[in-house]
Copies of this chain bind each other. A is one copy, B any other.
């Protein structure tokens, strides 16, 4: 007899079914035992008459149940299984680190992450990662429709894209290698290798010593790069389109998950733009906030500045989303294209979503000599970047791209409060297991 999922069984009233999954809840009343079974599609009630074995079931045990599916208006979802056969596939202990069948998880985040195989069983946790998969699926679909090719670039690299400070070193046979901070150099090489439009959804690694609610040391980057753009504006317009399609995918495929998590989607469509010099002025005038200088020595909008700008966008522009544009060239990587009218500013942007940066992008330098000058101006030795720079000698079209953090996007969309709740198995300063 083939196993039916809970969802299938709910549609099979009047037929004999076999369901299998985890024991979500057990209750015995006057010789009748009600077992709520949970599987990947949801819950279904199984009813046992005078079954000591069923009454003794511990929560989270894995069982298979055979019986007649019967319409029962009082039961969850309207159908229950009148059980005549119970198989205990894998019993769980009577006491668990925490219960899974509570409305919300009653365990702090540390314990949830330590006992990940248990916390992931909670329907609300499951919902987070179903939404995340829908976002990634929407990203791919939107780009494939537009002629972008999915690529797989190496994570083992000889040098970083933005200097060496944030790189994890790897012992690669008798040499030193690093983990890629970003597929940046590779996606650019692929664009100028004639693919023109490429994307990648893969892991990136940042050896940052941060311990914040918005940083982990390994995350999933949704990257794209495209040739023959006029300016960074083309990339921002594409971003508006693909984000709209990603949100539409979530809306279409995850309505139940959004409802369970009490999440609302941001509006789709054009996203307001604010040049960084204006953003600094606005922060000063409106919030009395002065951005402190960053590592580059010039003022940089930090987490608090982003939060305030998010508030401003929501209150004044009616938008959960805000593009910051024209970042000072000194604050962006060496491959960034400066603006022709004012080379101290660059053709770059960030996307702020509900007060947190989720995307960074821009137009890139595509002239070999300009690239070498830009690397030298930042005190990098161009010889260390030869395998990246060389291809620019052989005909490199204007191009640009962006990178979106999948976990951050998920966290903001669902209002989870900590990026770790949007990461299956987070990696941070203190966490390398499970």
Contacts and interface: CB of A to CB of B under 8 A. Distances in A.
Interface of A: 3, 5, 20-23, 38-41, 60-62, 89-93, 96, 116-118, 120-121, 126, 129-130, 133, 136-137, 140, 144, 147, 149-158, 168-173, 175, 177, 179, 186, 189-190, 192-197, 202-203, 205, 207, 209, 217-218, 220, 228, 366-367, 387-388, 390-391, 393-398, 406, 424-425, 427, 429, 432-434
Contacts of A137: 144, 150
Nearest to A58: B395
In the A-B complex, the 6 residue pairs with the closest CB atoms: A117-B391, A120-B193, A387-B434, A40-B196, A92-B395, A387-B433
A147 B429 CA distance: 35
A424 B150 contact: no
A194 B432 contact: no
A168 B168 contact: no
Given A152-B406, A170-B169, A195-B120, A175 B432 contact: yes
**How many chain copies?**
2
Contacts of A126: 194-195
A39 B133 contact: no
A158 B91 contact: no
B154 A39 contact: no
Contacts of A209: 173
A117 B39 contact: no
Given A117-B192, A133-B150, A152-B203, A89 B424 contact: no
A51 to B, nearest CB: 19
A177 B40 CA distance: 33
Given A20-B228, A153-B424, A393 B93 contact: yes
Nearest to A176: B432
